[in-house]
Structure 1
Amino acid sequence: MPPEIGLLGELRELDTSTNELPHLPPEIGGLRRLRTLTADGARAKELPPEIGQLSDLEVLVLPSAELRVIPPETGRLQALVKLSLGSDDTAENPLTIPKEMWGLSRLEELEPADFRAAELPDGIGGLRSLRTLDLSRCRVETVSDEIRGLPSLRELKIS
């Protein structure tokens, strides 16, 4: 993706699903009005911290990403309603979800693919609007007691 993408400040939707992007450029932070970012083919290993500048972002779908790091700046995505992320399941250190993400009060759908942990991290109870939690592509051994405190949860997928 060319760095000039950041010059499209009025862009509302970006779909790069047909491209196997090796990374998302930091210039993505310039897309201030972006509401939907879909990159099914992206193989990004990390999200740039500038992702936190996308204050209007409602949908972030990167299911094929090979993430090793989710920057804490994702906690600034307060308009986010849907989050679908892939991770590098071969990495020595598994992907961790930063605590800043547990404050995404509008998040309704969470699908962390290939996430590995003994249990969901403390703080998931902060996702008060979460309706769908899809752990079907994760290796989670136990589900935190905090899940009982999710008043909007209607669908839980576990395999």
Structure 2
Amino acid sequence: MVDGTLSYWRAGLDSVPEEVWSHPALDVLLLPDNRLTRLPDRIGTLTALHTLDLGHNRLTSVPSSLGDLTGLTRFLYLHDNLLTELPATLGALDRLAYLNVGENRLSALPATLGSMTGLVELRAQHNHLTELPGSVGALASLRELWLRGNRLSALPASVGDLRELRELELRENAFDAVPEPLRGLPSLRRVDLRGNRIGELPDWVGELPALEKLDLRWNDVEVAPGLLAELTGRGCVVLR
């Protein structure tokens, strides 16, 4: 262990090493790029962890005891596994800043997501999501939301409460219109809507005060000349 960190990156592991449990004050545990299929319940005893990386493994589930890691304040990486659901207890991680659950097999995110009020960045790309929980609007600190490669056709109205949201990636979903809940978001700077089914850009997009980049490529979208002139005239890059 070096400076409170244990790293087993690409160590060919099938299970969590016993050494881990002898360091209850561990700050950072890195287990990416292994062959882990399960995570022991006692992971919840490592309450001093602020960073946990379990990415690029073969996990089919994670235990509810993950919610006991209330010291997690920086990163939780669960990307590129075989997860079909997440435990509701994740909502207890209310100080976590970054959560990555991308590249799994999730059809839903837990309703308790909204309790993770410390989240600044949420990545859930390349899953099977058809909707987001309404509680997402409670993530008052959220600045980045990455949802590429899902099956979303709408966003909950509560997304309109994400006053700090700056970057939104909705690429390669099933939207046939720009989601109405984005209307009036004061901090939204970049929106990626590539590869959807959007046919028209609504006038209210011109009212997004902070918009710097709007990517509409790979849609059959019409943009009114006046709206396009308004956006580009103030320096917003519109790609189509």
TM-score by length of 1: 0.90
Aligned-residue offset at 1:137: 3.4
* Match of residue 18, structure 1, among 46, 53, 56: 56
Q: Residues 65-97 of structure 1, C-alpha deviation per residue, up to 9 Å, x if partnerless?
A: 2111211111100000000114643xxxx5321
What secondary structure is seen at the aligned counterpart in 2 of 1:123?
helix
Confirm or deny: 8 A CA contact 1:42 1:65 kept in the other structure: yes
Partners of 1:86 and 1:3 in 2: CA distance: 26
Partners of 1:80 and 1:4 in 2: CA distance: 24
Question: Aligned letter for 1:51?
Answer: L
Partners of 1:86 and 1:54 in 2: CA distance: 20
In the alignment of these two chains, the number of paired residues is 155
What is the match of residue 187 of structure 2?
Answer: 152
Q: Does 1:136 align with 2:171?
A: yes
Confirm or deny: 8 A CA contact 1:19 1:42 kept in the other structure: yes
1:18-97 equivalent positions in 2, closer than 5 A: 18-35=56-73, 36-86=75-125, 88-89=127-128, 95-97=130-132
Question: Aligned letter for 1:104?
Answer: L
Gaps of at least 5 residues in structure 1 are none
Question: Aligned letter for 2:119?
Answer: L
Gaps of at least 5 residues in structure 2 are 1-38, 195-240
Aligned-residue offset at 1:3: 1.1
Q: Residues 19-63 of structure 1, C-alpha deviation per residue, up to 9 Å, x if partnerless?
A: 121112111011011121012222211110000011111100011
Partners of 2:130 and 2:153 in 1: CA distance: 12
Question: Aligned letter for 1:27?
Answer: S
1:91-110 equivalent positions in 2, closer than 5 A: 95-110=130-145
Partners of 2:149 and 2:157 in 1: CA distance: 18
What secondary structure is seen at the aligned counterpart in 2 of 1:14?
strand
What is the match of residue 149 of structure 2?
Answer: 114
Confirm or deny: 8 A CA contact 1:55 1:77 kept in the other structure: yes
The 1:136/1:117 distance shift into structure 2, 3 A limit, reads closer
Confirm or deny: 8 A CA contact 2:153 2:173 kept in the other structure: no
Partners of 1:136 and 1:113 in 2: CA distance: 5
What secondary structure is seen at the aligned counterpart in 2 of 1:80?
coil
Structure ranking higher in strand proportion:
1
The 1:137/1:37 distance shift into structure 2, 3 A limit, reads farther
Confirm or deny: 8 A CA contact 2:112 2:135 kept in the other structure: yes
What CA RMSD, in Å, does the superposition of the two structures yield over aligned residues? 1.6
